[in-house]
Amino acid sequence: QGKVEGLSLTSLDFEEDADYAKVAFASTITQSHDNMSIALWVKRESTDDADTFLGKSDLPHHHYFQYTASGAINYKQYPQTASTGDVVTDTNWHHVIVTLQGDNNAAIYLDGVAQTLTSNNVIGDGTFDQIGLRGDSGDGASTASEMDGNIRDLKFFDYALSADQAASLYSGSYNVTPKHWYKLDEGTGGNGETVADTGTGTTNNGTLGPAGHAPNW
């Protein structure tokens, strides 16, 4: 179950060093905190800095989902947070899920297993418009918390996955198409090229950028 070799070899590779690489959504994805889940496969390049999976481009960069520098999984809807302890201290592929089902009722799963939360007080709806970056280049690299590593198979569900469903999604046996689905398996394309949203909701494709610094395959 959850064998990494079962994944496609194609993924999107982000670099830091003030590149501000991202996938910008055509429009903001807003999810009700009463019923939602986000899931993805992620592999960080190093454990030196925070690595952002999802963010909001406009200041004050208060909405994001990331690994912290110390290895916690952190979902932020300012000023509230759902966060684990330092559970990812390696550079391996991992499957990460966050679910919300009402006020102060989040769950975070790592490789199909529910994690103990050190903070669980989110009461706001999630808003994201980009993959791989928190805020924008005006924030500076340390605040933008650029992703340094690989992301693939990003899914947005409009309901909270149960523990059994989270484990099934990790193992590859939960074959339900989510509302938004960025497989990130195109394998070709650079700045300005499209990454597809193949979910059941209104299509909200992403665009690779910025010029000269778009993530690679």
pLDDT in tens, the chain (217 residues): 455 554 557 999 998 776 789 999 999 999 999 999 999 999 999 998 899 999 998 765 678 999 999 999 999 998 899 999 999 999 999 999 999 999 999 999 999 999 999 999 999 999 999 999 987 766 666 677 899 999 999 999 999 999 999 999 999 999 999 999 999 999 999 999 999 999 999 999 999 999 888 999 9
Instruction: Give the pairing of strands 36-44 and 94-100.
Output: antiparallel
Are 137 and 21 spatial neighbours (Cβ–Cβ below 8 Å)?
Answer: no
Amino acid at 209: G
State both tokens at 215.
Answer: 């993530």
Amino acid at 174: Y
Round to whole Å and give the CA distance between 207 and 19. 16
**CA-CA-CA-CA torsion sign (84, 88, 49, 180):** negative
| 95 strand-pairing partners | 41
State both tokens at 178.
Answer: 């989510």
Contacts of 136 (CB under 8 A, 6+ apart): 20, 57, 58, 59, 61, 144
Are 145 and 49 spatial neighbours (Cβ–Cβ below 8 Å)?
Answer: yes
Q: What's the whole-model pTM score?
A: 0.93
Percentage helix, strand, coil for the chain under 3-state DSSP, each rounded to 5: 10, 40, 50
Q: What is the pLDDT of residues 11-43, one digit of tens each?
A: 999 987 767 899 999 999 999 999 999 999 999
| 212 strand-pairing partners | none
Round to whole Å and give the CA distance between 144 and 150. 17
